[in-house]
Structure 1
Amino acid sequence: MKKKSLLALAATGLAMSSVLAACGSNDDSKDSGSGEKDGFKVGMVTDTGGVDDKSFNQSAWEGIQKFGKDNDLKEGTGYKYLQSAKQSDYQPNLQQLARANYDLILGIGFLMAEDIGKVADQFDDKNFALVDMVVDKPNVASIVFKENEGSFLVGVVAGLTTKTDKVGFVGGVNSDLIKKFESGFKAGVMAVNPDAKVEVQYAEDFNAAEKGQAIASGMYGKKVDVIYHAAGGTGQGVFTEAKNRKKNGEDVWVIGVDRDQVEEGMPENVTLTSMVKRVDTAVEQVAKDTKDGNFPAGKVVEFGLKDGGVDIAPSQDNIEKDVLTKVEDYKKQIIDGKITVPATDDEYKEYEASL
């Protein structure tokens, strides 16, 4: 598969607008009277986690917002999102943007793969992009990440921070994608703390905070003191449980995902760090390329540690300095190719056997 490196990543601390005004409607009418219907337009369809999930969808929308503002586009006409309340909304939302002649239509999340493939066939003259899954269509760009590499780094943090030698991983839907987070995280923990135990549980939902809280409650109750979540909106429940326990004097932590989730841990300060996945800069870059006439048609656009697509969050005040030194050392080894981070169960077993 062809790959393309991200050429111009924004600095990790780049300020992003978090204004999440709803836009778009449920009708299929084309934009009119906007003054932009003949100009460049980019639209995105959320998965069921919603645009304000404090995670994956929100990061994508922030990237589109920045692209729109940098190119003097109007929100709602030049750039917009359509919300998906359920999976059956994916196809009609994608079709609505295609009929409205959007120049780039982004689907956010691997659960949209089948639908975006079907709609891409229906509108073979339109440009589509899917985040987190490869769709082999000539008019679809597949945006993927090496989540296992970033997860390895926060695994190092967890393994060196835990006082009980028990850490946890809470996944959204058990899938090849989330297995990358799990495998990389476990590998990072084991690299620095082979005595640690990693408890893994999946909620089978990316938008069920109550399930996330219940799972976290069970883990913390078993003396797990650091939990890494890769569960979208479900992860909000992990933060809720950690904050409740912190109020009662328990020393527990959460590691966030996709974007810097330090605010989700406040005011109790339970966010140890986060694994940032620069969905924002990735979709922004693909939008720029498309506007410039360089849409990566049929290509896989991959972002890893080497090109800044994943990393540990800039909020690091709760991490000991010697731990951060270890993180930087492992980061360099991964970038230099000295460590190959596992992305599947089988690869993790091989990795564990090599330690």
Structure 2
Amino acid sequence: MSLMKSLLAGAAALCLSPVVASADPALIFDLGGKFDKSFNEAAYRGAEQWKAETGGSYKELEMQSEAQREQALRRLAETGANPIVMTGFAFGEVLTKIAPDYPETKFVIIDTVVEQPNVQSVIFAEPEGSYLAGVLAAMASKTGTVGFIGGMDVPLIHKFECGYAQGVKATNPDAKVLINYTGTTPAAWNDPVKGGELAKAQKSQGADVIYAAAGGTGIGVLQAAADEGILSIGVDSNQNFMHPGKMLTSMVKRVDNSVYDAFKAGAEVEPGIRVMDLKSDGVSLAMDEFNAPLITPEMTAAIEKVTAEITSGAITPHDYMTDNTCPVQ
């Protein structure tokens, strides 16, 4: 059934009865598209896992422009969809505005906090996972220079950047970390050509491992790194399979788990803040057959040690968004 038919059917059902007994959940993807091989696609996998296990159905929308955010949320809320899950901090302002208009609808927003009584805010401990990525990058680098390429230059992505830099510097205090962003507008998430250009530029400055936290733009970073014979680190989803033997790892955010859990809870999803950290397996480094040849026993031991220290509180990677600063830069 097409989205329009689904929405019309939902609207018709809503007109017939003021209470939707068994509403379908809904998922709205952010700019960059459902199959970005990164953040949005992780959300899609979570929804599909729920669908496969339950036989249920869900509505979905892919954002095409910033102007669609409010319309999309209202449209789904008015069909009776419950809960409505959205991927990305950019929905924060709009959700704050419209959540009070639909008090019986539960909303779940990933990557930012919206303080409303019918909203669950899911945030991830990106500094923790990125710190581990930095440890691995510093150990793998032969030049002592590594890179970071972010998508949109916003505080959320500085959390990745800062955690990564801390891990690098903790492992090799003399290492150099090159940093670039692809832009200051949402278009920065979907510019793989520019991502590739930045990766080549960082290689020319000595970087031999590059961490990309840039959504769809990151695909260009990973491709360019593989073409240039240097290593890369993926983000959000496990991207190791894209360039076997050429990707050091991926810093995985279990966005799939947060969507799956929200769909499973349905209208009973609990409002408030949910933190997905290293201890709860909310973030992790991807280790599989695609990067196994690159991971030495020393690297494995180091990652296990630092993971234990972070989960115990012996190491606390600084969260950039607490004060908009990074202690190693």
The two structures have a TM-score, normalised by structure 2, of: 0.90
Classify 1:301/1:270 alpha carbon distance in 2 versus 1 (closer, same or farther; 3 Å).
same
Q: CA deviation at 1:177?
A: 1.0
Partner of 1:62: 45
8 Å Cα contact 1:25-1:82 kept in structure 2: no
Q: Any stretches of 5+ residues in structure 2 without a counterpart? A: 14-19
Percent identity, aligned pairs only, is 34
* Partner AA of 1:44 in structure 2: L
Distance 1:95 1:26, change over 3 A: farther
Asked if 1:48 corresponds to 2:27, the answer is no
> Which structure is higher in helix share?
2
CA contact (8 A) 1:23 1:82 kept: no
Instruction: Tell me: CA distance 1:326–1:96, structure 2 relative to 1, closer, same or farther (3 Å).
Output: same
Structure 1: which 5+ runs fail to align? 1-21, 247-251
Q: How far has the Cα of 1:26 moved from its partner? A: 8.8
Match of 1:195 among 174, 185, 203: 174
Determine the structure 1 residue equivalent to 2:130: 151
Query: How many residues end up aligned between the 2 structures?
Result: 314
Q: CA deviation at 1:107?
A: 1.1
CA contact (8 A) 1:45 1:90 kept: no
Secondary structure of 1:243 counterpart: helix
Q: Which amino acid aligns with 2:237?
A: R
Which of 278, 287, 290 in structure 1 is aligned with 2:263? 287
Per-residue CA deviation, residues 151-186 of structure 1 (Å, 9 max, x unaligned), is 011110000110000000001112221111011100
Residues 226, 70 of structure 1: CA spacing in aligned structure 2 closer, same or farther, 3 A cutoff? same
5 Å matches for 1:1-355?
24-25=3-4, 29-31=8-10, 38-73=21-56, 78-204=57-183, 205-246=188-229, 252-266=230-244, 269-290=245-266, 293=268, 295-297=269-271, 299-315=272-288, 316-317=291-292, 318-344=294-320, 349-350=326-327, 352=328
- 1:240, distance to aligned residue in structure 2 (A): 1.9
- What letter matches 2:234 in structure 1? G
- Matched-pair contact (CA < 8 Å) for 2:109–2:122: yes
Tell me, yes or no, if the aligned pair for 1:23 and 1:81 is still in contact at 8 Å. Answer: no
The answer to whether the 8 A contact 1:30-1:101 is kept is: no
Amino acid at match of 1:324: T
Q: Taking structure 1 as reference, are residues 67 and 28 closer, same or farther at Cα in structure 2, changes over 3 Å only? A: closer
The 2-side partners of 1:221 and 1:176 are apart by 27
Within 2, Cα distance between the matches of 1:304 and 1:233? 24
User: CA, structure 1 residues 30+23, in 2 after alignment: closer, same or farther (shift >3 Å)?
Assistant: closer
The two structures, once aligned, show a CA RMSD in angstroms of 2.0
